[in-house]
Structure 1
Amino acid sequence: MRAIGFRLGTRGSALALTQSTTVAKDLAAASNTGYEMIKVKTEGDVTTGPLSQLGGTGVFAAALRLSLLQGGCDVAVHSLKDLPTTQPEGLVIAATPVRADVRDALCARDGLTLATLPLGASVGTGSPRRSAQLRAARPDLVIVDIRGNVGTRLGRVAGSPAQADDGGVGRTAQGDLDAVVLAAAGLERLGLAEHITEYLDPAIMLPAPGQGSLAVEVRSAGAGNAAVDAALEELDDAATRLAVTAERALLARLEAGCAAPIGALGRIQQGTLTLDSVACAPDGSDTMRRSAATRELTVQGAARLGIALAEQLLSEGAAELAGL
């Protein structure tokens, strides 16, 4: 049995544990060390009410970060879209592994798609970004704010079998909605992709900055084990880091969080980093889509791209449009 080389902090939801275990196994294999999983309960796991009113993205990150800073764990795994854009003193994102599917996914009754949902269909989501873009595409839809883990949300769809529930907040009756929208990456990581009736094209539903990407965070001095630190460098995917750096730089310059109807997606093709963005009126009545690109494929270049596109959005009225 290998000696424990690191303690990995994680939320206790099924999705968080799945993501964290994948990272832990990769780090352990690359560093030839063992590991211990440390479950940390966050504010977002115990507080009820709309996510957009719970203090922003940090509700899922603060407790994990405090555990890291206080030495309760050596490594923490976050969904990158859940991290505030301001990096706390004493902590660094040591790795952004290869990104999973960035798209949002519609999970609807009877195999329906966004185009074939009936007039006035009810669609559940807890994201103002998704709500605004759904309303822009289908103004007739009734958008219902929902909470809970992935299983709970899937169970809201009419005709869906009861899903395994790991204790998330917001338990409700089954089958009261026509559809829900969730991140494709989370469904795929949990082996629930069969519930997806349509992958929503980013041209219709631009994802959240960092969606589909994980962030592996450690103290500034490292994980406390040289072999683990080296493994973290190997785990970091350069293309993913550049894309999400641009996306999060845009979000930071806009001073927006999860309560803002803002989407962004970076991608590298043929030596060029392109960043697409959208700012929406919360009711979906208007959207502003803009793009920019750079051939400076460095972290600094990616950040500059995000800031420059945000400045363009702001100069054209995005703050007023999105209610920032």
Structure 2
Amino acid sequence: MTGQTGTGVPPSSGSLPTEELPPLRLGTRRSALAMAQSGMVAEAVAAATGRRVELVEITTYGDTSREALAQIGGTGVFVSALRDALLAGTIDLAVHSLKDLPTAAPEGLVLAAVPLREDPRDALVARDGLTLAELLEKGDPLHPARIGTGSPRRMAQLHAWASASGLAVETVAIRGNVDTRIGYVRSGELDGVILAAAGLNRLGRLAEATEVIDTDVMLPAPGQGALAIECSAANPELAAALAVLDDAPTRAAVTAERALLAALEAGCSAPVGALATTQADELALRAVVGTVDGATVVQMSTTGDDAPDELGRGLAARLLAAGAAGLMGERAK
């Protein structure tokens, strides 16, 4: 989606006419999902700035490597190339899935906006239109349902839930785009796969999900369902223009979730789930840490009107005191 049309907002006094301004170059990964969500952001940026927006496709290491994310150091593998392009000035802004962003703030860049969050939950695409419970109930310890996911977080919670329900499940590590993953179910190789509901919805494919999984069963990754718009700190005018796309409740929620992740010193591929929601005037934060096999999990929650980052760090401290550090297979490098 190149050359997004601006909204015709008249230029301020003394500025160049909108049509004489060069287009803003928005960096994005090449995947269908990344292109879809970046296209949505491009339209919003064009409306906010009155300038055309061009998508610039950038290949990241995470796109080209076929290894499991935990093996290639999941943290940052989908964003480093985009950030390098921002710092080099070859693009003006970049769109990321917020859950892929390392928690450490990058020097020279600013998180200009976190737009309104999509549904943060995970979704199941299963054979025969089955729900998660129905799928597992049809299996047995010798022939359990085979569910694909590349996420240790999903594996940990799926195994823990199955065990607590007296059911058996086999998790299969997979990677690939949405078509590839759903293809494992269509071909009969797997009984189901778990994907982010937000990604399916942005692709117009949420109807293919047989169940959107309740957060009492599976907490999402910190930041899941949210997007991040980054630009150079050397361009404060652009940062200010992009700030109108920021959604304050979403930013507060993901700030709490990412503060917890940072305090746990866990990478984005660690078996850590977290979700913050606004309740009245308070923020409620739930989190889970577990072993990938689901044998041991620690789950806690908190509410308060503290600053979101303080709320996240406080809950992380409680999780660590309860032994969470020993459960995480992926620690920040």
Q: Provide the TM-score with structure 2 as the length reference.
A: 0.88
SS at match of 2:204: coil
Aligned to 2:292: 282
Aligned to 2:78: 60
Which AA in structure 2 matches 1:210?
G
Are the equivalent residues in 1 in contact too, given 2:266–2:328 (CA < 8 A)?
Answer: no
Aligned to 1:136: 160
Asked if 1:121 corresponds to 2:145, the answer is yes
Cα drift, residue 322 of structure 1:
2.9
Aligned to 2:321: 315
Cα drift, residue 210 of structure 1:
0.2
Task: Map 1:120-269; keep pairs closer than 5 Å.
Answer: 120-139=144-163, 140-157=168-185, 160=186, 174-222=187-235, 226=237, 228-269=238-279
**1:102-130 Cα distance to aligned partner (Å, 9 max, x none):** 10001100011111112101000000000
Aligned to 2:121: 103
Cα drift, residue 194 of structure 1:
1.4
Cα drift, residue 138 of structure 1:
1.6
Are the equivalent residues in 2 in contact too, given 1:53–1:259 (CA < 8 A)?
Answer: no
Aligned mates of 1:191, 1:256 — CA distance in 2: 32
Which of the residues 284, 292, 303 maps onto 1:293? 303
Cα drift, residue 219 of structure 1:
0.7
Aligned to 1:77: 95
Aligned mates of 2:252, 2:130 — CA distance in 1: 35
Cα drift, residue 229 of structure 1:
3.6
**1:69-101 Cα distance to aligned partner (Å, 9 max, x none):** 000101000000011111110011100000000
Are the equivalent residues in 2 in contact too, given 1:52–1:258 (CA < 8 A)?
Answer: no
Which AA in structure 1 matches 2:321?
S
SS at match of 1:18: helix
Contiguous gaps of at least 5 residues in structure 1: 161-173
Which AA in structure 2 matches 1:47?
S
Which AA in structure 2 matches 1:321?
L
The structure that has the greater radius of gyration is 2
Cα drift, residue 259 of structure 1:
2.9
Are the equivalent residues in 1 in contact too, given 2:233–2:239 (CA < 8 A)?
Answer: no
SS at match of 2:133: coil
Aligned to 2:11: none
- Pairs aligned (count): 302
Cα drift, residue 222 of structure 1:
2.6
Which AA in structure 2 matches 1:27?
V
Aligned to 1:272: 282
SS at match of 1:12: coil
**1:27-85 Cα distance to aligned partner (Å, 9 max, x none):** 10111111121110000110111112111231100000000000010100000001111
SS at match of 1:180: strand
SS at match of 2:274: strand
Are the equivalent residues in 1 in contact too, given 2:125–2:194 (CA < 8 A)?
Answer: yes
RMSD, aligned α-carbons: 1.3
Aligned to 1:6: 24
**1:215-271 Cα distance to aligned partner (Å, 9 max, x none):** 000111237xx3x44431110000000000000000001010133110000111110
Are the equivalent residues in 2 in contact too, given 1:102–1:183 (CA < 8 A)?
Answer: yes
SS at match of 1:9: strand
Are the equivalent residues in 2 in contact too, given 1:31–1:230 (CA < 8 A)?
Answer: no
Aligned mates of 1:222, 1:110 — CA distance in 2: 52
Are the equivalent residues in 1 in contact too, given 2:298–2:324 (CA < 8 A)?
Answer: yes
Fraction of identical pairs, as percent: 55
Aligned mates of 1:52, 1:229 — CA distance in 2: 33
Cα drift, residue 4 of structure 1:
3.2
